[in-house]
Structure formats: C-alpha cells, structure tokens
Structure 1
Amino acid sequence: MAALQALLTRFVPPSAPGDGYRAVKDHTELLEGASPEPAGRQSPRLLSTTPSGVARSAALFVLGVLAASVVWGLALSRPPSLDKAERAFQAAKAGMYDDLDAQHSKGEPRARAYGPRPRRPVTWREGFKTPGPKELLQGEAPGTSLYESLRPDLRYLIGDAWSGLTGQFLTSISLIYLAQRTQRIAVVPSPWRDDEHYFNTFAKMGDLFDLNKFREQTGTLVLELSDVKRFDLDHKTTEREQIGCFKGNNFADSGRTFDAFNLDASSWPIRRLDWWANDATEAFILFDMDDDLRQNKTASFAAEENRTVPRNMRDSQLLCIGNLWSLTELAAWRAGWGAHNYLVADGRQEEKGGMAEMLSPEHHGTHPGEPPFILTYLDFRPEIWDVALFAARKTLGVVDLPRDLLTVHIRRGDFVTWCPSGHDCVPPLSDYEAAVASQLSHLPRGTAVLATTDDTSADFLASIRALGWYAVDHAALGTEALLVTRYGEREHGWYGSAVDQAIHSIGSAFVGTEDSQVSLVAALRVAAWSGGRAQMVKRPK
C-alpha cells in the first residue's frame, strides 16, 4: 500500500483533480461533469462484511488491481500542459542558482524557517494526540447527513462564509477562536466558495493552510465541513437538511458554502445582549454558555415570527453562527477599534502619547481576540511556500533571501472604483513611496523592497521597478501558469492569492493598502511571525 501511495503521489499533482474540492473552474463546468464527488475517507469497515477470509483476500486482490489501473490511468491521462508547467517550474528552481551573479553561493539555499515561530507540539504529553476527523465524528463521515456524522456526546460550532480568500480566512479563524473559548469543535465552512473574486470556484482551507500542523502544535479541535458531509453542489447525493443560524456580527449574514453541501440555512436575528455590545466576542460567549437564555429567546422569536425551530437549535450540540467575519473584543468594540473597520493594525496607541514607541510590533495595535493565537501558529501549506519562496528568490535574484526585507501590497483591482466618487479611489505610488521610506528608516541600510500587486500590466509593474523596488510578476516567472494548470483555477485565484500572502509574510516590515483585508492580515502576520512593523497607505476618501 505504501508503494502504491508513493506511486500515486509521483504522478498526481498535490491536489488531485478527482477529489471534488480543488478549485473548480466554474459552476457550469462542474455541473456538466467535472467530477463533483468528494474524496471521502474509506473506512476499513467497508471490507469487514466480507463473509470469509478467502472472499476478503479476493476482494483485496481485485481492489489492488483496480487501484493500479487507476494510478496508471491517471498517469497516462494527466494533461500535457500540467506536466509541462511542472517540469518548467522544477527546471527553473534547479537552474535559478546557475543564473545568479557570481557573488551568490551555489547549490541549495541554506535551511531557514519561514512562517510561524516554532511551538512545542501538544503531543509531548505522553499518550496524547490531538483528535482529528476520525475521532471527532462517527459513522462513515463524510456522509450524506450533517447530523448523522456528529457524535452525540460532543459539542460543535459551525458557520458559513463569503468574500475572497482573506474574508473567508478571517471568518474561519474567528469561528475557530470562538469554538476554543466555548469548548466546542469548530466546523469551518470549507471548501471556501467565491463568485466575486475567483470566478465561482472552490478551494479547501486545508489545501491552502496546514491544518494538521496547526492541530498538532496547538491542540485545536477543528474540522472542515467537507470532513463531516459530502460535497454535493447539485443536491443529488445527500439529504437536504435544515439548519438554523444565529445572526453573526457581519452586515451580510449569508454565505457561499452551505448550499454546496445541501444545507438550507435560515438566519435568526436574535439579539444576544440588548445593548451596544451585542456583536462583541464576549456576547457570543455568554450567549453560548447560557442555555436557558438562548433557548428562551429562540422560542420567543419563533413564536413571534411563526417559525419552526430547526433541529440544531433545540439543544446545545450544534450551534450555528451565520457569518462571524472577524471577532472583536468588548473593549476594542466600544472604542471603535477592530478588524471590522480595518483599524486593527493601527491601534489606539497612535492617537496620542508615547506608547507607540514603547511597544514591540506584536503588541502594537488593538488586535481582535483571535490573531494573537491562531494567526501566530496557522501556517501555509508546504506547496504554497514552495511557489512563494521560489517567486521571491527569483524576483530578487538571490539564493538566500535577505534577513531584512520590506514587503509591500499595492491593492488596485476593484479598489480603483470603490469609493463615494467612483473614480481615483486608490492612492498614487508616491504615497506608497513615502510609507516605504518611513519603514526603511527603521531597517538596515540597503534593505530591499519586494512588492506584489493585482495590477499586473507591464506599465504599472515598470513604474514600481522605477522606484528601485522589486515587483513580483507571476506571468513572467511561470508561477501563474503552474498554479493555473496544477489546481485548475484561473489567473490569480485562491492559490495565487495564498502565494502572494506567503510572500508578504516573509517581510521584516510591511506596507499595505488601507481597507484591504489582504494587507490587514499581512500586517498581523509580520508582527506575529517576525516582530515587524507595518504601515497602511491611506486611500482617497
């Protein structure tokens, strides 16, 4: 079996096309036959009903032959474009060192860790291992029913999400954090789905971020919805199930993922507290912990609105919050500082006095509750790092990335027209230049500036380079073609966005764009992972 798995890994790309969860090109193509079936775990109990040892052996032999056929079928049917892109990427990585100036060392880069700071795994406790899907669910999960996959003796927290990669990421880590605070198992809405930024495609959170490493190092109990119930976009292979969700803290309470699992969610706008703190983190915790309060308010609302209380709202096993987006603790909410208004990286310390100069970057700013823990330890997948580090090294023309590096995120795209006037809504490059100069004053002389942007026109990239900065161009590097062919998504989709975010995180300081969730999270990562400063370039109002 190990040899078979190794052979499969040799020929199949990191996210197999048949798993039904990788980024799907678009809704229509999926419905027309792009293999929507999930990659559910096959339980050994499927073989335990074989009536005799002889029959069991025969069944295993037949399965082995079929598996070998599948492997060779996949190998032979693998798209030539994918092989070409993979070969080009590996060749570029191998040849990159020969193309560098003689001043740089030859051979493989020196080992250096990127991402979260190392943490001693919770598995150091003798005999303890953080439970995963197998232990946290029952039956043949993922199954055809959400409720039947849940263990009756455990408590779960679930929610939906929408927006692009960072919006869904913030929603998911808020859900994980709230589950930790209320001693529940987080069921994040994955695969994430978006029809505004990524052409109605899907991507699993676990394909972009290393959830297994996060579990092992932190002891966090977290599942993806795809672990619990089968992915069923056309509603043909699973049960249609009702689920009641208390309104979250987002102005838009709907999401994009539940429907792909044949879940019919209803929103229940019941106030947790009858005062301004209704959407603060503490209000969600109190509402969860006080069963009588929650049940009474739900019954009263159902009577007033002539509604039937859904199955999950009748007890405390499965609590659903419609859309959390980003939690903010009580004090920060009262002061008006939090992720909900993008001021989390600036912080009240900037207002007056000398506190800003006294605090290290990781303690600077009014952070919401979840980033200090979850953002600190939730890393990107190795496959994302592989592409990100290659792109950074190739763009900078170095083998070993410099220890001091200023990363920049220049957001344009839909921001160009996103303001009251509808035009001239993005800051000019001169504003970024001023912010970069300010940050460079805190860094060693000669620190390089590495920028990413969603405006990949030749003229705009040239204008960035004219400032003496380096600009990542995934099209020229070949990394865009690699991601498109490897994961089946369009240009700069889920995986491309994750790669850029990994690039941002390697900076020892960061400059971003005001109101951008990508910049917001990058600033928090640089502070948590490198102790680096961050500055947001203000947008025209």
Structure 2
Amino acid sequence: MGPDTFGPYALLLRRRGLFAACLVLVLIALLVMLSEHAPVQSTDTLATPPPPPSQSAEAIVTPAKDIDPLGPKHTLHGSPTASFRDNLLPQHKYITSWLSAGWTNDVYTYINLIYLGLITDRIPIVPMFIPSHVGGHVPPIPFGEVFDVPRLRNEIGKSVLEWRDVKDINSTEIDDIGCWNVWESVQYREAFPRRSRIPDDLNLDISYTKTPEWIKMIPNYEHDQHVTFWSLATLAFPTTRKASLVPPLPSPKHNVSLPPDEHLLCYDYLYYVSAHQPFEMEYDYVSLDSLSQCSPAWRYVGTHMHWTPTLEKIADEYIRKALGVADDSSIPPFISLHIRRLDFKVWCNDVPIDECFAPLSVIERRVREVQDEITKRTGMIVPHVLVTSDERSPEWWHDVAKQGWFSPDHTDTKEHYGEWYPVLIDAVIQSRGVGFVGTDRSTMSIIAARRVEDWSNGPHRLVKWGTKDADDH
C-alpha cells in the first residue's frame, strides 16, 4: 500500500463515492414511485388521431347581418310582379287603403292604415302619395321617398310594404279585387264609395261592399264621419265578415261583383278613424286628461314615421342657408313656426282677413311663451326662429323679417327637386324645432307639434284664428 492509502485524501475519496452511490439509489427509488403512480393511457386514446389544424381567421365566414329583417324579401315571393296576387305569400295576410284628401291628412290616413294592420295582424301595403295640393299634373311620390320605411319596420316590429314592392309600377294588368265601402256608411251626402285616383294608378278594378251602419262612431250624426278602429277590425275576421256581407257593387271596368278580399283586406278610406273620440290625434298631446290620451295610432305608428335620410339632408341645407350657418357647422337650436293662411281664407267667411288671422304681434307672444318654457325646462336660450307659411304676400314676409325671424328660400326648390319638395322640406323644418308654434285646426301644425313633442321633448303653442282677437289670452 502506498503512503496515502489511509491518509486524509483517500478518506475524502471514499466519502465522495459513498455520497454518489446514495444519490443514485435515491433517483432510482423516485423513478420507481413515479412509474407506479402514473396514469395508464388507454389504447383508445392512443389510437385517436390528432385534432385537425384550426381554421385560419380568413376561412371563418360570418353571415352578414340582415339590416331589414321585416322587409319585402321576407314577406313577398320576390320582385314586383305584373299582378299583385302573384307576389303575395299564402302564409301572410295583407291590408291596404286609398287616399282622398290633402297631403297631411293623407299622412294621417296611412298612419291609420298601418295601425289597423297591427291590430288585425296583417301586413300593410301602403300606396303612394297623390299630389292633391300641387296639381294633378305632378306625378305621385312613393311613401318610401318621404318616410324611412326600413326604420319604421324595425321600430314597430312589423312588416310594412309599399305597393311598388308588390306590383310592377309599369304593369298594365288590371287586377280585380273586392273591398269594403266605409264612406257610404258614415256620411249622408254621397251614395258611393270614397273616390280616389290611386286604384286607377295601380290598375285595380274594385267591387265594393258597403259596411254595416254600426261602424259609425256617433250614430245618426251627420256632422261627423268617424269610425272606430275596432269596428273596422272586426270585419277582418271571419264571423263578423260573414255576418256583414251584402250584395257588392259591380266593378267599373270588368263589371265583376266580388266580396271583400280575405287575402288582401282593403277599405276605401281611413282618414276618419279613431279609437275613442273624433280627431283624437289633435287632443292626445294637448290634454293631460287620461281620456284624451287615446291616440294609439300616433303612439304606435305615427311617432315612428321618420323622414328619409335624403330628405333630412336636403332640409338641413335649407335650414343652414336660412340661419346663415356654414355647411361644416352644426345647426343651432331654433323655434319652428307654421303660419297657415292662404288656403284657410275660405273659412274666414265675412270676417276681414286682417281680423280673421292673428297678427304677427300675437304670434310673437306665442313664440316668447315657447322660448320661456324651453329656458325654464332646460336653461337653454333659443333666439333663432324659423318660419314656414303658405302666405305669398311680399309685405307679410317683409314684416316677418322685421321680427328678426328667418325663413327657407324656396325660389329654386321646384326646379332643383320637384313640385313635391317645398311642402316636404317645410314639414321637416317644422319637425326639427326644439319648440313649435303653429296654426290651430291645421293638421299640418298638429302633426308638427306631435313630432316636436316626441322627437325633441319640445313645447308648442297653436295660434287660434277665425275672429278678431281669437287668440287673446
């Protein structure tokens, strides 16, 4: 043995070897323990192929959102057809009517038509507007060029169609149809259905059946022509329809006699329709009496009939120009006015015009009332006043300007946009005020007041007229 066999160095080597051996034994023990407790993988799992590679973002296609889920493609067979019947779906029922009044009254009529569609669970088919206020030489204008129909559908949650969706406007095919004659049952001067040019425009040959006399809201009262919504609605259902049938009038073109159509229900005239009282749309926003809060047609339809974006944009141009606002600047709040004079002169009878209509000083007092109410409600001061009127007197308009009020310039409106647009632009302007002053007993003023109230939470006043000092208060 060498001298270091039992020396310190040899002892150190032996200790290191012992430590290494112990470490190896510990590692072996750990491996044995892990192998005993490891889960056993089934043969099924081992046989399962790996999942396919995930799709790339480009390969995932998200269906486009249907922005008009209640539109024509969901409630008609397809594009407009030569005969309206070829486009109606058997699983749906429809309703329509015609016009025979001034433009704003015609708006009321279509509000009533659409509401009647709601309560009878039928799809309204709305005709065009006819130019009763601008002359028969002017073509009709589609409902959907004035009002935003897709928005209306979405807001009321109900399909609303136009006749141009259903029947080809260039079709020469004449469709026979049976309709209800309401007009003859509610007034005692005309022994025939309410006349309208729309059936001829749509190439419809109508056989009318007179409605029962019990539909009249105020029986045997010759000074009112109103019916209730539900008296008309009952005729849409089998029991009352069957009990109310009488021999129909032959149609004027084909001389056919048809009962009221069950697939496309139609009435001759729906302007004089209310739920509770005559002309209730006028009183719904005036009185706080609960009995006067009764215009469901306005609440559920009319307030949702907004202007088309195109018409809004055109009106914006006129408002900016009138107020002297740059194109890239926002429009300041203003009070809108509708002062109706020209076509109301006939109702003045023997009263001189200057006494029949309120002077501008009286209207200015009403404007101040609205301005003060806005300030009290919101703290906002609204100095701008924008006037619309059918008055043609240059002197009268000069006096309007002396009040510091503004007005839209319609000098070139007809040339640029057409005969319809002066009244349409004025209607939009009236509805855009944060407050409104209008003319008592004018449906154009009444509906403008409703819009300002609902769309801008704005106050309004209606100026009385007809006798001297009629609006004194």
TM-score normalised by the chain length of structure 1: 0.63
| Cα distance in 1 for residues equivalent to 2:362 and 2:91 | 56
Question: Is the CA contact (8 Å cut-off) linking 1:280 and 1:328 kept in structure 2?
Answer: yes
Give the C-alpha shift of residue 319 in structure 1. Answer: 1.0
Give 3-state SS (helix, strand or coil) of 2:245's partner: helix
| Cα distance in 2 for residues equivalent to 1:165 and 1:517 | 10
Give 3-state SS (helix, strand or coil) of 1:243's partner: strand
Amino acid in structure 2 at the alignment position of 1:243 = G
Question: Is the CA contact (8 Å cut-off) linking 1:272 and 1:287 kept in structure 2?
Answer: no
Question: Which residue pairs with 2:322 in the alignment?
Answer: 395
Bigger radius of gyration among the two? 2
| Cα distance in 2 for residues equivalent to 1:461 and 1:450 | 12
Equivalent of residue 97 in structure 2, options 159, 167, 173 = 159
Q: What's the CA shift string for 1:118-140, capped at 9, x where partnerless?
A: xxxxxxxx98953322232226x
Equivalent of residue 461 in structure 1, options 397, 410, 416 = 397
2:237 maps to 1:299:
no
Q: Which structure 2 residues correspond to residues 225-374 of structure 1 after superposition, within 5 A?
A: 225-231=163-169, 237-247=172-182, 253-271=194-212, 273=214, 276=217, 279-289=227-237, 291-299=238-246, 310-311=257-258, 313=260, 316-325=262-271, 327-330=273-276, 333=277, 336=278, 338-339=280-281, 342-347=282-287, 349=288, 366=293, 368-374=295-301
Give the 3 Å change call, closer, same or farther, for CA 508–274 of structure 1 in structure 2. closer
Question: Which residue pairs with 1:47 in the alignment?
Answer: none
Q: What's the CA shift string for 1:303-334, capped at 9, x where partnerless?
A: 9xxxx985462x5222111111253212xx1x
Give the 3 Å change call, closer, same or farther, for CA 238–423 of structure 1 in structure 2. farther
Q: What's the CA shift string for 1:447-475, capped at 9, x where partnerless?
A: 32111112244322211111222222222
In structure 2, stretches of 5+ residues that fail to align are 1-64, 188-192, 219-225, 376-380, 468-473
Equivalent of residue 210 in structure 1, options 137, 144, 148 = 148
Q: What's the CA shift string for 1:94-127, capped at 9, x where partnerless?
A: xxxxxxxxxxxxxxxxxxxxxxxxxxxxxxxx98
Question: Is the CA contact (8 Å cut-off) linking 1:281 and 1:328 kept in structure 2?
Answer: yes
| Cα distance in 1 for residues equivalent to 2:186 and 2:359 | 31
How many residues align structurally?
376
Question: Which residue pairs with 2:8 in the alignment?
Answer: none
TM-score normalised by the chain length of structure 2: 0.71
Q: What's the CA shift string for 1:308-366, capped at 9, x where partnerless?
A: 985462x5222111111253212xx1xx5514xx445433x4xxxxx7xxxxxxx9964
Question: Which residue pairs with 2:441 in the alignment?
Answer: 515
| Cα distance in 2 for residues equivalent to 1:524 and 1:326 | 18
Question: Is the CA contact (8 Å cut-off) linking 1:250 and 1:324 kept in structure 2?
Answer: no
Question: Which residue pairs with 2:76 in the alignment?
Answer: 137
| Cα distance in 2 for residues equivalent to 1:264 and 1:312 | 13
Give 3-state SS (helix, strand or coil) of 1:452's partner: strand
Question: Is the CA contact (8 Å cut-off) linking 2:215 and 2:228 kept in structure 1?
Answer: no
Q: Which structure 2 residues correspond to residues 441-452 of structure 1 after superposition, within 5 A?
A: 441-444=372-375, 445-452=381-388
Amino acid in structure 2 at the alignment position of 1:518 = M
Identical amino acids, percent of aligned pairs: 27
Question: Is the CA contact (8 Å cut-off) linking 1:137 and 1:150 kept in structure 2?
Answer: yes
Q: What's the CA shift string for 1:43-71, capped at 9, x where partnerless?
A: xxxxxxxxxxxxxxxxxxxxxxxxxxxxx
2:465 maps to 1:539:
yes
Question: Which residue pairs with 2:9 in the alignment?
Answer: none
Give the 3 Å change call, closer, same or farther, for CA 530–127 of structure 1 in structure 2. closer
Give 3-state SS (helix, strand or coil) of 2:130's partner: strand
Equivalent of residue 436 in structure 1, options 367, 370, 375 = 367
Give 3-state SS (helix, strand or coil) of 2:100's partner: coil
Higher RCO (CA-CA < 8 Å; seq separation 6+): 1
Amino acid in structure 2 at the alignment position of 1:268 = T
Give the C-alpha shift of residue 401 in structure 1. Answer: 2.1
Amino acid in structure 1 at the alignment position of 2:90 = P
Give 3-state SS (helix, strand or coil) of 1:193's partner: coil
Question: Is the CA contact (8 Å cut-off) linking 1:163 and 1:194 kept in structure 2?
Answer: no
Give the 3 Å change call, closer, same or farther, for CA 539–197 of structure 1 in structure 2. farther
Q: What's the CA shift string for 1:283-317, capped at 9, x where partnerless?
A: 2223323x1221221136779xxxx985462x522
What RMSD in Å do the two structures reach over aligned CA positions?
A: 3.1
Question: Is the CA contact (8 Å cut-off) linking 1:142 and 1:226 kept in structure 2?
Answer: yes
| Cα distance in 1 for residues equivalent to 2:416 and 2:320 | 22
Give the 3 Å change call, closer, same or farther, for CA 421–309 of structure 1 in structure 2. farther
Question: Is the CA contact (8 Å cut-off) linking 1:242 and 1:311 kept in structure 2?
Answer: yes
Question: Is the CA contact (8 Å cut-off) linking 2:111 and 2:297 kept in structure 1?
Answer: yes
Amino acid in structure 1 at the alignment position of 2:461 = Q
Question: Is the CA contact (8 Å cut-off) linking 1:160 and 1:322 kept in structure 2?
Answer: yes
| Cα distance in 1 for residues equivalent to 2:344 and 2:124 | 33
Amino acid in structure 2 at the alignment position of 1:180 = L
Q: Which structure 2 residues correspond to residues 98-109 of structure 1 after superposition, within 5 A?
A: none
Give 3-state SS (helix, strand or coil) of 2:273's partner: coil
| Cα distance in 2 for residues equivalent to 1:411 and 1:473 | 17
Q: What's the CA shift string for 1:425-459, capped at 9, x where partnerless?
A: 54332332232222222123453211111224432
Give the C-alpha shift of residue 146 in structure 1. Answer: 2.3
2:415 maps to 1:484:
yes
Question: Which residue pairs with 2:134 in the alignment?
Answer: 197
| Cα distance in 2 for residues equivalent to 1:496 and 1:245 | 35
| Cα distance in 1 for residues equivalent to 2:213 and 2:256 | 17
In structure 1, stretches of 5+ residues that fail to align are 1-125, 350-354, 356-362
Question: Is the CA contact (8 Å cut-off) linking 1:158 and 1:188 kept in structure 2?
Answer: yes
Q: Which structure 2 residues correspond to residues 4-23 of structure 1 after superposition, within 5 A?
A: none
Give the C-alpha shift of residue 281 in structure 1. Answer: 1.8
Q: What's the CA shift string for 1:210-230, capped at 9, x where partnerless?
A: 112222343221111122223
| Cα distance in 2 for residues equivalent to 1:484 and 1:326 | 35
Give the C-alpha shift of residue 374 in structure 1. Answer: 2.0
Give the C-alpha shift of residue 175 in structure 1. Answer: 0.6
Give the 3 Å change call, closer, same or farther, for CA 295–413 of structure 1 in structure 2. same
